[in-house]
Amino acid sequence: MSQQISVRIDNELYTATEGRTILQVAADNGRSIPTLCYLEGLSAPGSCRLCLVEVAGVGRLLPACTTPARSGMSVTTNSDALAHNRLMALELLFIERNHVCSVCVSNGHCELQSMAQRLGMTHVHLPYNFPRLPVDVSHPRFVLDHNRCILCSRCVRVCDEIEGAQVWDISARGINSMLVAELDRPWGEAQSCTSCGKCVQVCPTGALVEKGQAVEEMTKRNRIVTDLAVKRGART
Amino acid sequence: MRKPRLATMWLDGCSGCHMSLLDVDEGLLTIAAKAELVYSPLVDAREYPHDVDVAIVEGAVSSDEDLEKIRLVRERTRILVALGDCAITTNVTGLRNPLPLKSIFDRVYIDGSDVEKVHPTEGLPTLLKHAIPLHDVVKVDLHVPGCPPSAPLILHVLTELLDGRMPDLRGRRFG
Ligand code: SF4
Ligand code: SF4
Ligand code: FES
């Protein structure tokens, strides 16, 4: 039997099962912490830094999606400093590549865009990068538009952990990072791709989309991919 | 008491934001009753006047001329409003930004022309390397999102500002 612990989140006391992350304990109790790279049912890389929270007695901010809740922990999920941090993390995602929502197939159904709305973003203070990036249309059914990719790696994880095909990887580091199919092939030539479309469904933005969609038409059902695995108890 | 002095300006945009302003329909009467329109693509004034209370500016800053205009607006205006996504993020006008200027000029004036295949040199403002948002070059007091912002949103913003209140537009759609 796993042990029950008690955790304080934003001054409310909650009972939780040991081993659950701060994010999960918060969610179990109807508290939502902003996330982008995290998707229930997939492993958590802790890379987008949107879910950072304050833990009493710890000198730095911790990602809620990868930090296990511990007995006696006192967590703050909302403060001016956190709000500022989250906005900065989000701004960095917007300036890194070319997000032109008004001509994007995902406009109005995009998790990056709705996060900006949720966090109250009115404009981006930092100067935009405007990089020149390719669009891969080699796959018969899907498109990869690097301009919209936020490198959250959800596609990499779902393809590996749920579909078992391991088509995707992220090459290089930092600002040069790129999503690549197999060993940097056009997606349409990737022999391990089963065309299941899971990566498309979990991608939070207009980076992975179905062909033939016009502006604002691409809606996704990201949870449908992982829900079953979570319900079966195969994944948490 | 004198009425607040209102100006509207159109930089690198498609005029859609101004169309949306006209779509306010009878709301224009409300605005007209509250403000004196002193400068706009819709009125005759040639030079941007001094002592403007509220200016709403559509479009990104894309040329040396835009740059000059927006600096003048800032100098002579109390409340400067970025109207629409091109003014806020560069949006569609920024689609050219990843491309070198030369390739754009070649495409338009060399490949795209049957006669006189030359880059224009006279009588045109010089393009900046990138179209940039207004707030990159001047202080912006309010960002009004949308491509274009809806007519009711524009009416709301103008009514609030002309009545001396600063609307809070956080939590509206971004991008
Ligand atoms: S992916 Fe989202 S944020 Fe990026 S351009 Fe498309 S709608 Fe906008
Ligand atoms: S393609 Fe989509 S899911 Fe994959 S890393 Fe980029 S944004 Fe994330
Ligand atoms: S959701 Fe936790 S770091 Fe991205």
Query: Higher pLDDT residue, A2 or B140?
Result: B140
Q: Which of A130, A205, A216 to mutate to test the interface with B (most CBs of B within 10 A)?
A: A130
Q: How confident is the model over A22-79, as pLDDT tens digits?
A: 999 999 999 999 999 999 999 999 999 999 999 999 999 999 999 999 999 999 999 9
Instruction: Mention the CATH class of domain B5-98+130-162.
Output: alpha beta
Q: What is the mean pLDDT of residues A80-95?
A: 97
Looking at residue B175, its pLDDT comes to 87
Domain positions in chain B are 5-98+130-162
Q: Do A102 and B97 touch (CB under 8 A)?
A: no
Question: Does the C-beta of A153 come closer than 6 Å to ligand 1?
Answer: no
Looking at residue A1, its pLDDT comes to 59
> Please, which pLDDT band fits residue B163 given cuts at 50, 70 and 90?
very high
Interchain contact B171–A (C-beta under 8 A): yes
Interchain contact B135–A (C-beta under 8 A): yes
pTM of the predicted model, to two decimals? 0.94
Look over chain B and give the mean of its residue pLDDT values, rounded to a whole number.
95
Pairing of the two strands A52-55 and A74-76: antiparallel
Q: What is the mean pLDDT of residues A127-140?
A: 97
Dist. CA B41–CA B43, nearest whole Å: 6
Q: How confident is the model over A139-150, as pLDDT tens digits?
A: 999 999 999 999
Question: Does the C-beta of A204 come closer than 6 Å to ligand 1?
Answer: no
- Statement: residue A114 has pLDDT above 80: yes
Looking at residue A229, its pLDDT comes to 77
Dist. CA B113–CA B116, nearest whole Å: 7
Domains and CATH numbers, chain A: 4-78 (3.10.20.740), 89-232 (3.30.70.20)
Q: How far is the CA of A68 from the centre of ligand 2 (A)?
A: 25
Q: How confident is the model over B4-35, as pLDDT tens digits?
A: 999 999 999 999 999 999 999 999 999 999 99
Q: ipTM of this model?
A: 0.92
